[in-house]
Amino acid sequence: MLSLFSWILLGGSAYLFFSSMSIFFADPAFRGFKGGDTKRDHGEHPLSFLNRFIALLRVYVKVLRQMLQVFLFKAYHVAYAVAFMLLSAEGKSKPKKVAPLMDGAAEPQKVESKTMIFFRHGESQWNYCFNRGFFNLSFPFRLLSSLYYEFILGFHLDSVFVDAPLSELGIRQSCEVRDFLTKGGTPASPATGVDGWTPLALDETIVPILKGTGGPPSVLVASNLRRALSTTLISFGERLSRSNEKILIHSALQEHTRNIDGISLAFPGDAPPTSLLESSLEALGVRNLYLTRLDASLNHGNKPIRSRVTKRLQSFAEWVFAYRPSVNGEEGISGTSGGPEVVIVGGHSGWFRHFFRAYMPGDVDHVAKRKKIVNGGMVRFTLQKRIIGEGVDYHIDPASVAVIYGGFAK
């Protein structure tokens, strides 16, 4: 890899040098002459050859430094993604259910409840390449086109595979959810159901909560992976444009997978870079949303190689009941009463499914445990925090699960 990079630098250096020199000797205006006039303007002193060369050299050094920074940034994340894929045990075994304290014999001394809305991201570039099937004629084309696109992105802060961004279909799905919310709950596309589950009738309570125009207070939180952030930003763009709120980036929501698309391109305390595809769609304003509508204070970086999804599930469940919006820069976490009653979570199908498995009763066979939420799908349920003695556990009421949009995969 290093030798290949050296050849790229050498070729780029030669290209920049000779192209600059050819412009210098071929274009009189570049050397201080007026365009189209063969006479020297004695009223203006042309830049000396040395000054012009120094100016070109500075530009060259600046470009070279930026290329090196991008290369090191991507090399670090690619290396970590490969190491995680090879060394991590995540995904090799089924996560254990978080043991409940309640056995039915004892009544909890206190029960707190939060309304949760799980919102899965739109189709990603990784989904486009690998999740549409391997045994069909389109797979070789999808793979080769993705590899070519990755090569084109060589010296950009972007990647097709690492922290895979939204595909074109994923962007359209996000826009459909945006239209669904903007129209006050009128479906923008047919919602799908499975095992008899049908979309929730969007009453006067749900719509204002999602739009942020009324009802109980709510908070928007999303994974530190770009596909979840972009989907949430695009879908709730109208809500964000009316308020000063920001989407909280929570690293505990990082997807449960060993694949390299599950590694974030964001360092701790930072938001990841916007993909070039999303940045090019100026009408959506995704780049500006990344710069102005994300709060990365809860992004503690990539999951450690020895991490377990069970710990991330528990960490997030604890945060849901402890979170308090910051006021005048004060810390937004406390253990007292208050806080938003509704938590809207932009995340991933694998993580969501493990959350349902962890906190639903073990003897309940529920579609949420078996099936993924579809791309762009939105599901509502009630999460309880139950306290008995000095112990605390978390519980999902199976009867509270309802599809808002999209539903579960067939």
> What CA–CA distance (Å, rounded) separates 218 from 118?
13
Residues present in the chain in total: 410
Q: Residue 84 corresponds to which amino acid?
A: F
Mean pLDDT of the chain: 83
Alpha-carbon dihedral sign for residues 251, 257, 258, 260: negative
Confidence of residue 91 (pLDDT cuts 50, 70, 90): confident
- Determine which of 30-44, 334-348, 375-389 has the lowest per-residue pLDDT on average: 30-44
Residue 113 CB coordination number (10 Å):
15
Burial of 110 (0-12, 13-18, 19+ CB in 10 A): exposed
pTM (2 decimals)? 0.82
Beta bridge partner(s), residue 258: none
Average pLDDT over residues 382-405: 92
pLDDT at res. 45: 53
* Positive or negative torsion for Cα 99, 101, 104, 110: negative
Q: Token digits for 235?
A: 């879908």
- Nearest-5° Cα angle at 165, 220 to 410: 75
Write out pLDDT tens, residues 141-181.
Answer: 999 999 999 999 988 999 999 999 999 999 999 999 999 88
Residue 206 has a pLDDT of 82
pLDDT classification of 101: cutoffs 50, 70, 90: low
Residue 191 Cα distances to 39, 45, 197, 228, 403, angstroms: 73, 71, 10, 20, 9
Dihedral pair phi/psi, residue 379, rounded to 5°: -130, 140
Instruction: Give the pair of three-digit tokens for residue 79.
Output: 């290396």
Burial label for 258, CB within 10 Å (0-12, 13-18, 19+), is middle
What's the topology of domain 110-405? Rossmann fold (3.40.50)
Closest to 214 measured CA to CA, from 117, 342, 120, 323: 342
Q: What is the structure's pLDDT at 329?
A: 45
Domain boundaries, the chain: 2-87, 110-405
Torsional class of 36: left (φ above 0), alpha (ψ -120 to 50), beta (otherwise): left
Non-local (6+) Cβ contacts of 150 within 8 A are 159, 160, 161
Residue 244: exposed, middle, or buried by beta-carbon count in 10 A (0-12, 13-18, 19+)?
exposed
Q: Which two tokens stand for residue 370?
A: 């078996």
Q: Confidence band (pLDDT; 50, 70, 90) for 334?
A: very low
- Cα Rg of the chain, angstroms: 26
Q: What are phi and psi of 258, to 5 degrees?
A: -95, -10
Which among 202, 204, 243 is positioned nearest to 220, based on CA atoms? 243
pLDDT given at position 399: 94
Under DSSP, the state recorded for 334 is: -
pLDDT at 55 exceeding the cut of 90: no
